[in-house]
Each structure stands twice: as C-alpha cells, then as structure tokens.
C-alpha cells in the first residue's frame, strides 16, 4: 500500500500536571526531514521525537510542535516566598518615604505578585512519559491519514495505467494497417519517379525507413513499464522514487512513439500518453 506524504494530526491531553498538545504536519520532500519545536523543559526529547518519526515514515518533511502548560500539583500546600515578600515590603516603604505618602500593602495584592506563591513543579519524568505516549497517538493519526490519501492516489494512478494500456492496445491493433497504408503511399510516389532512381538505393532506403517507423519495441516497453507501476502500487514499502523513475521511462517511450509517427492516429496516441503520464507524475511527487 502506497502512502501520501501530506498529512496533519493534532492530539491534546489534560492531566493534573497540566496540558499538552502535539501538532504534526507532513509534506512531500525528497528525504526524511524532521523538525521538532519543543518547550525548554523538553529539549532533551528531540532525539526521541526523531526516532519515533523515523520508525513510522520513510520520506517527507515532518514538523512536530509540542505546546505545554504546567499547573501546580493538586493537593499541594501553598508555599510563600518570604524573602520576596520582605523585598516588596521594603521597596514599598522606600517609595512611601520618597513620596511622603502612607500606603497599605494588602496580603491579597501580594499573593497576586509573580513569584510570591511558589508552586511545586510537576514530575518531569511522569510528564515526559505522558507526552511521549501522546506523540505516539498523534503519529498514529498521521500514518492513518497518509494511508487514506495514498489509497486515493493509488486509485488515480491505476486508472491512468488502464487508459495507457487501452491506448497501447489500440495502436498495436492499428499498426499493420498504418504500415500498409504508408507502404502504398510510398509505392505510388516511387512509381512516378522509378525510372529516375537507382533501384538498389530505393530498396535500401525502404528498409531503413521501415526500421525507423517500427514502434513495436516502444509499445512493448510501454506495456512492461505500466505493469511494473501497477505492481509497485501494491507494495508495502516506500516506492515514490522508483515510480518517479518509471514515469521518466514511460515519457521517453511516448516521445519516441511521437517522433516515429507517420500517421495522425499514432501522433494523437503519443500526445494522449504524455498527458496521462504527466498526470501520474504530478501525483507521484506526493508519494512516500
């Protein structure tokens, strides 16, 4: 099963220690490129993030963002930073002296002052485990979305392969008639000027021309490449690069078919083939 390289997933977890949100985005890229945006407390997880992503994906540009908001442990007692309170009180008295005023510091005002109430930090080992588990869940969502998108792309490519096979079969069926009609036209023209030409040279040129207009090898290679594309669509491993290479080969055969064309039907077939191949190539750029 092929997979798309475009996906997005978001997972959120709220626990006594706080709130964590993972957002993971993936887009097409030639190699696997993992970018992790982590809060300062979780900088040490960057290697883990890369390993987790690498175990699930083979190609693509992957952006992993973690948002974390900590809160005090439930049931813990408030702890007052008495040293900070003393500093605030001293600073307030100094300002009162300078201004010649008398102010009253209220305890509730002091409690709202940043740093006056000290909270017990959460257990980072516990939080890291929960955040890593949440990342696994987020990556599950990414893989599922990539697989769903891959199924759609696979169906589109397979339908184009069927159309290419139909065009190829029509050209093969029409080829004897095209060749016979071309020989008759050439024979009529040669009959008009036969007395002026060297017969041996004419026969030699006819053989050369017949070889040049023979497209049986190109048609056989087209059929072989299409079968290989269909086979690779069912593989359970990254195939994007190999499929892209096959698109180049298919396009080469279609171009050669057009350059050897001696009939409108064959020329139109070459154009139709190149359109279908380009449509497949655009889709394959997004396959892992």
Please check whether residues 47 and 140 belong to one and the same domain: yes
Q: Over 80: is that where the pLDDT of 253 sits?
A: yes
**Cα-to-chain-centroid distance, residue 149:** 10
pLDDT band at 94 (very low <50, low <70, confident <90, very high): confident
Residues 6+ apart with CB under 8 A from 65: 22, 23, 24, 37
Tokens standing for residue 75:
């049931």
CATH number of the domain within which 277 lies: 1.20.140
Please check whether residues 161 and 64 belong to one and the same domain: no
Number of CB atoms found within 10 A of residue 2's CB: 26
In a domain, 17, yes or no: yes
In a domain, 1, yes or no: no
Q: Over 80: is that where the pLDDT of 251 sits?
A: yes
Q: What is the Cα–Cα distance from 4 to 26, expressed in whole angstroms?
A: 9
Which of 242, 249, 226, 220 has the alpha carbon at shortest distance from 164? 226
Which of 22, 24, 26 has the alpha carbon at shortest distance from 11? 22
Please check whether residues 129 and 252 belong to one and the same domain: no
H helices present in the chain, as ranges: 46-56, 82-99, 107-112, 124-193, 199-213, 216-233, 240-259, 264-284
Q: What is the mean pLDDT of residues 3-26?
A: 95
- pLDDT of res. 186: 66
Total domains, the chain = 3
- pLDDT of res. 79: 74
CB 95 within 8 A of CB 66: no
CA distances from 97 to 76, 89, 91, 100, 102 (A): 39, 12, 10, 5, 8
In a domain, 248, yes or no: yes
Q: pLDDT digit string (tens) for 74-92?
A: 445 567 778 877 887 788 7
CB 243 within 8 A of CB 232: yes
CATH number of the domain within which 16 lies: 3.30.230
Parent domain of 171: 149-284
Please check whether residues 98 and 155 belong to one and the same domain: no
Tokens standing for residue 81:
């930073």
The least confident of 83-92, 163-172, 180-189, 227-236 is 180-189
The least confident of 19-28, 109-118, 245-254 is 109-118
In a domain, 2, yes or no: no
**Residues in a beta bridge with 256:** none
């Amino acid at each position: 099963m092929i997979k798309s390289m475009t996906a997005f997933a978001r997972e959120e977890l709220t626990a006594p220690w706080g709130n964590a949100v993972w957002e993971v985005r993936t887009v097409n890229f030639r190699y696997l490129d993992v970018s992790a945006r982590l809060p300062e407390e979780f900088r040490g997880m960057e290697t883990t993030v890369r390993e987790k992503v690498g175990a699930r994906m083979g190609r693509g540009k992957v952006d992993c963002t973690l948002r974390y908001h900590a809160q005090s442990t439930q049931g813990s007692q408030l702890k007052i930073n008495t040293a900070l309170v003393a500093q605030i009180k001293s600073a307030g008295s100094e300002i009162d002296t300078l201004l010649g005023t008398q102010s009253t510091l209220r305890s509730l005002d002091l409690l709202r002052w940043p740093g006056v109430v000290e909270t017990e930090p959460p257990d980072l080992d516990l939080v890291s485990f929960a955040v890593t588990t949440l990342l696994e869940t987020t990556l599950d969502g990414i893989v599922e979305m990539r697989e769903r998108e891959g199924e759609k792309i696979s169906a589109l490519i397979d339908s184009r392969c069927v159309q290419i096979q139909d065009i190829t079969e029509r050209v093969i069926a029409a080829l004897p008639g095209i060749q016979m009609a071309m020989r008759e036209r050439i024979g009529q023209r040669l009959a008009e000027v036969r007395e002026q030409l060297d017969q041996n040279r004419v026969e030699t040129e006819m053989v050369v021309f017949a070889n040049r207009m023979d497209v049986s090898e190109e048609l056989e290679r087209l059929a072989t490449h299409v079968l290989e594309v269909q086979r690779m669509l069912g593989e359970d491993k990254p195939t994007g690069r190999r499929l892209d290479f096959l698109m180049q080969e298919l396009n080469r055969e279609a171009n050669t078919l057009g350059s050897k064309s001696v009939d409108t039907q064959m020329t139109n077939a070459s154009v139709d083939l190149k359109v279908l191949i380009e449509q497949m190539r655009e889709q394959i750029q997004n396959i892992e």
